[in-house]
Amino acid sequence: MRMRRSVARACTAVALAALPCACAERLMPTPVGFAATGGDPFARTPAHARTDEVKLYVASNRGVRAGARPNEYFTTKRSEQLRLGTMGVAIAGDGMPWPELEGVSRTWPREDGPKVSLRSIDDFGPVWQGIPGLATSAKSDAAVIARFAESVKADLAASTSKQLFVFVHGFNTTVPGNAAVAACMFHYLGRDGAFLSFEWPSCGDLFAYQADKTAAAASIRMFRELLAQLGARTGAERIHVLAHSAGAPVAVDAFLELRLMHSEEPAEKVRDRYRLGRLVLVAPDMDLGEFRDAVADGATELPERVTLYVNSRDKALDIASWITGFARLGQPLGVLTPRQVEFLEDDANVDLVDVAGAENRFGSWLGHSYFHEDPWVSTDVLMALSTPLHPLDRGLQRDEGRKVYAFGPAYPGRAQDAARKAFPAAGTAPAGTPAPPPLPEAASTP
C-alpha cells in the first residue's frame, strides 16, 4: 500500500510538473488575423496609450507585502479584502518608439518579440465585501471604489469602444505572469477601452493544485460583487470576461449566482442591469457536471454569448481529470454526445470551438495556453471577446459531424478577411459600422 502511494505521488509530481505557468516574458506571437495584411487593432488605440506601457486595472483578494517591488507586492496568501488599483506593464520597456512597436506587433510569423514586464502597481486600497465582523469603514470603501470607478470612466471616455474587459487567470500563476498575459491581450485589442485582471490567490506552485482550486472557489463571491460594482459605477457599455483554466469556474459560478439572485426577472433585464457582455472560456478546468448544472440553472443566459474553447489534446486537463476523477469542461468532445453539444449551442447560448486543428500546427506539447500562444486561436479569442461576430463570420468553419466550430486549413485568409472588417485601418470605416455579412462557408475541416 505504501509503495502504491509513493508511485501515485511520484506520478502526480511528474504530471503536475508539466502544467503550465502563465508567464509571458515576451510579447505573445502575433495573432494571424492581425498581421500586416489583416485587421489593424492599433487604428483605434487612443493617443495617450501609444507608449511602451500598457495600463491595466487590478482587483485582487491576495495578501500584500507593503513596500515590496511590483513583482513581489502581491503574495500567494488569501485575504479577506479585495484590493483595487492599477498596474503598469512595459512592452519593450527600453523606450521603443510606438511606430516600431506597432510594426513588430503586426509582424507574422515572428520568431521573438519585445520583453514584457510588470513595471508598477498603484494600490488604491482595500474594499470590503460584507463578511460580518471584519468590515472596513463604509467611508473608506466608498473612497477607494470612487477613485477606481472614476479612473475607469476616464479611460472609457477616451476610448472608441467603451468596453471593459476582465481577465480571470488559471492555476499555478503569478501576478507578474498574469499581468504580462493580460497586457498582451489588451495590446492586441488596440488598448481601446479598459482591461482588468482579477487576481485570485494562486499559490504559483506546481504541487498546489488542490489549494489553488480551493482558493479559486473561495473567490467567487468577491468576483460576483466586483462585477456588480463595475456594472453600476464605471459607465462601461458592456463588461466582457475572459477566463482561463481554473479561473473558468470563478466566472461561471459568479454568473450563476447573479442569475439565481434575480431568478424572477428576465435574463435580458439582469444582463442590462449589470452591463454584462460576452463570456469566453478557454481550456476551462471545471467539472463537466458542475457546468451542466450551472447551465440548467441559467448561468449561460446572462452573457450575450458564451464561447467555449476545447482541445482534445489538452494534456494539462487530462492530468486534472486524472487527479479529480472526472472529465473537465475543456476536454468534452470525447464525452459529450452530438445531441448534448447541439443543446449547448441552441438552448444554452454557447458556441463550442475545437482548437485541435490550430494546435496541430502551432500547439505546445501540453496544449493548454493556446489562447495567447497559438496565433490562430488568439485571433479568434480576441474577436470573440471584442466583437459580436458569429463564429463563421470570424473565419471558423462548421464541423457538422461533431456540431462544433473548427479551424480549417483556409483559416489564416478567412481570419484576416474577418479582422479587416472588424478592425479596419484608420479612415477605412467609421466607428459603429454595422457587422459585415457572413463570410462564405467553406467545407468543414476538423
Indicate the pLDDT class of residue 437, thresholds 50, 70 and 90: very low
Please report, rounded to a whole number, the percentage of residues in the chain having pLDDT higher than 70.
82
Is the per-residue pLDDT at 291 higher than 80? yes
Q: Check residue 385 and give its pLDDT.
A: 98
Can you tell me the mean pLDDT for 17-41? 79
Mean pLDDT of 377-384: 98
Q: Sorting pLDDT into bands at 50, 70 and 90, what band is 309? A: very high
pLDDT at 9: 46
CATH number of 2-422: 3.40.50.1820
Burial zone of 432 (CB within 10 Å; 0-12 exposed, 13-18 middle, 19+ buried): exposed
- In the chain, what are the domain boundaries? 2-422
Could you tell me if 259 and 267 are in contact, meaning their C-beta atoms sit under 8 angstroms apart? yes
Confidence of residue 439 (pLDDT cuts 50, 70, 90): very low
pLDDT in tens, 100-134: 999 999 999 998 899 999 999 999 999 875 555 44
Q: Per-residue confidence at 440, pLDDT binned at 50, 70, 90? A: very low
Sign of the Cα pseudo-torsion (102, 107, 108, 113, in order):
negative
Q: How confident is the model at residue 313 (pLDDT cuts 50, 70, 90)?
A: confident
pLDDT, tens only, 140-199? 688 899 999 999 999 999 999 899 999 999 999 999 999 999 999 999 999 999 999 999
**Mean pLDDT across 387-403:** 93
List the Cα angle 58/283/358 in 5-degree steps. Answer: 115
Alpha-carbon distances of 29 from 184, 362, 379, rounded to whole Å? 9, 10, 10
Q: Which residue has the higher pLDDT, 434 or 223?
A: 223
Q: What are the E-state strand segments in 250-296?
A: 276-282
CA dihedral 317, 320, 321, 325 (to 10 degrees): -170
In sequence order, what E strands does 345-403 have?
350-354, 397-399
